[in-house]
Structure 1
Amino acid sequence: MGVIGRLGRLNRHTSRAIEAALGETGLQPWEFDVLATLRRAGPPYALSPGALIGSLMITSGTMTNRLDHLERAGLVRRQPNPEDRRGLLVELTETGRERVDRALELHVANEHRLLADLTATERAQLAALLRRWLRMFEPPPGGGGEGNEPA
């Protein structure tokens, strides 16, 4: 019970810290998650809605609402998928790319600050333990074992 309670408390603290760090960009954490997922995809920074749903583990209805919001804000655009005429791709706009790049800088600095009291060895141990525990709930990326997911 103590471990789960501390995890819950840490979740509240880290969530507040993430919201504060992103505040400068005007992005909510859920907006950052979508934009950062597109950014990590690499040029042309586009994914299908289905790929976004799988990566973010949300429902299709939630994804539609999020994409509608981000598109109205000028951060993403939906484009026909050139490889599948029936499908769409969600692509970062230049504004979206600029905004998420700034948010990523702030997010990384925030993560360093949040983990500053841990040594490099402790951070590596924590990352390994969390990956191992997450495998109980989520399949590993690429279907492989250890070492397939970045710390």
Structure 2
Amino acid sequence: MSTDERTTTPRSTADGARPDRLDLIMAAWARERPELDVTPQGVIGRLHRVANHLTDELLAVYQEHDLTEGDFDVLATLRRTGPPYARSCGELAEHTLVTSGGVSKRVDRLERAGLVARHVSPADGRGRDVVLTTAGRIVIDQAFAAHIANEHRLLAALDPADVTALEGILRRWLARLEEPPATA
């Protein structure tokens, strides 16, 4: 088989769309390993690539507000708790899906920036709560508004019916993969 024959790509997909990177990868695997059903790559590979592109787009907005993804996550978690905008490091770890050590590093950085403060926990005088400062609330309110506008922009590339269908599919799939937390 010539190189040209091995790199031939599908001219169109079943839905008439232009072939993408995953179509090329799947065609190559189908050629090389015809005994394997590579169709899961059509979903998993595309989700992975879309996630990478979306992450780049989301990070750009966080950076406009001098935040990392982790900073945004901690500030947003504190902000959505409502007044007094406080959680323990353990609660932050639970709601940000990182270890307590990872949360401590994020909190240290945010505390140096004046966006959070550590206070003695009113529930447990031995513990410390991480509290959103006024400056932190201003930053996260601005960053979150920009984040939501960015998400609207990203979803505008899809038909509204597709957005609704995709949300339902992903909700059902995620429910099979993880238990939701008791609170947001």
With normalisation by structure 2, the TM-score equals 0.73
CA distance in 1, matches of 2:75, 2:166: 26
Q: Distance in 2 between matches of 1:40 and 1:28?
A: 18
Task: Give the corresponding residue for 1:65.
Answer: 105
Q: 2:177 aligns with which of 134, 137, 142?
A: 137
Structure 2 partner of 1:126 = 166
Alpha-carbon distance between aligned partners in 2 of 1:6 and 1:52, rounded to the nearest angstrom:
31
1:146 match: none
Kindly tell me the number of residue pairs found equivalent between the two proteins: 144
Amino acid at match of 1:121: A
Whose RCO is larger (CA < 8 A, sep 6+)?
Answer: 1
2:79 pairs with one of 32, 39, 64: 39
CA root-mean-square deviation: 1.6
CA drift of 1:46 comes to 0.8
In 2, the alpha carbon distance for the partners of 1:141 and 1:59 equals: 16
Whose strand proportion is higher, 1 or 2?
1
Structure 1 position 87 matched with structure 2 position 127:
yes
3-state DSSP class of the match of 1:27?
coil
Secondary structure, aligned partner of 1:77: strand
Residue 28 of structure 1 corresponds to which residue in structure 2?
68
1:51 partnered with 2:91: yes
**Superposition TM-score, scaled by structure 1 size:** 0.88
Structure 1 unaligned residues grouped into runs of 5+: 144-148
2:182 aligned counterpart, secondary structure: helix
In structure 1, which of residues 90, 108, 119 is the aligned counterpart of residue 148 of structure 2? 108
Deviation of the 1:54 alpha carbon? 0.6
Stretch moving more, 13-22 or 112-121 = 112-121
In 1, Cα distance between equivalents of 2:88 and 2:69:
20
Report deviation, 1:48: 1.2
* Cα 1:51–1:88 shift into 2, 3 Å: same
What is the identity, as a one-letter code, of the residue corresponding to 1:57?
L
Structure 1 residue 87, shift from structure 2 partner: 1.4
SS at match of 1:65: helix
| 1:107 counterpart letter in structure 2 | H
